[in-house]
Amino acid sequence: MKRLLLLYFILLTCLKTSLQAQEYLPQDYSIILGGGLALPHVEGNRNDFFSKNGNQVGYNLMTEGRYYFVPSFAIGLQYDYLRIAHSPDKMHLHYIRPNIIFRNLWSNGNQGAFLSFGIGYMNYQERTYKRGTQNGHRFQRGYCGISLGMGYEFRITRKLSGMLRADMLTADWFANPDARLYNTDGYDDGIDHSWFKNNITFFNLGFAVQFGR
């Protein structure tokens, strides 16, 4: 009888340990849904919306799917929607791209931090109105966008985890046609001679939930 009780206790301990070992952040695949604040930084105010209204704060909605080759490396597909408005003017941004994700886990896989990098298609749209009129000016353009992201993940339940994340989206990159980093003869002509310049950048700060295993 004592042997049976001992065997039963050992089996329960092994089962409990096995179940606890399965309670970790997703390491096979996951679906992520989230949102937060969108903070714009438009260099040179080339866009009518920001030239007229300044760098207004808006909101961001996002979804992402990930497939993990190993717990520390995954590929994903992410979509972001940004909206900023200052009545009656408004702007929208759609951005979709593939991502590569690097992740570090700790606390038996219950917590982690990640870095992501993506390149994809960014569609920018805005509509502005002259004061006292109902005739609006519409602008729309597609860009090749670049994104960098980072975040902190934590397990909530067996298949649900939370995520605090920050993403930077930037576009309209182009090479300096002068192909030089500085002015000759020490003369300052007031022109930025950097190799690359970008004119549209957004910083997204928010929270997301993650489902997967």
Decide which of 28 and 190 is more confident. Answer: 28
Three-class secondary structure of residue 43 per DSSP: helix
So what's the pLDDT on residue 167? 95
pLDDT in tens, 91-103: 899 999 999 999 9
Q: Has residue 190 got a pLDDT over 90?
A: no
Residues pairing with 122 in the sheet:
95, 143
How does pLDDT run across 139-188, given as a tens digit for each residue?
Answer: 888 888 999 999 999 988 878 899 999 999 998 876 655 555 555 556 66
pTM of the predicted model over 0.75: yes
Phi, psi of 13 (to 5 degrees): -65, -45
Q: What percent of the chain has pLDDT over 70?
A: 73
* Residue 195 burial (CB count, 10 A): 10
Q: Say how far apart CA 76 and CA 65 lie, in whole Å.
A: 5
Tell the CATH topology of 2-212.
Answer: Porin (2.40.160)
Structure token digits, residue 4: 């049976």
What is the number of alpha carbons within 13 Å of residue 143 lying toward its C-beta?
Answer: 21
Task: Indicate if the alpha-carbon torsion angle 127, 129, 134, 135 is positive or negative.
Answer: negative
Question: Would you kindly state where each structural domain of the chain is located, as residue ranges?
Answer: 2-212
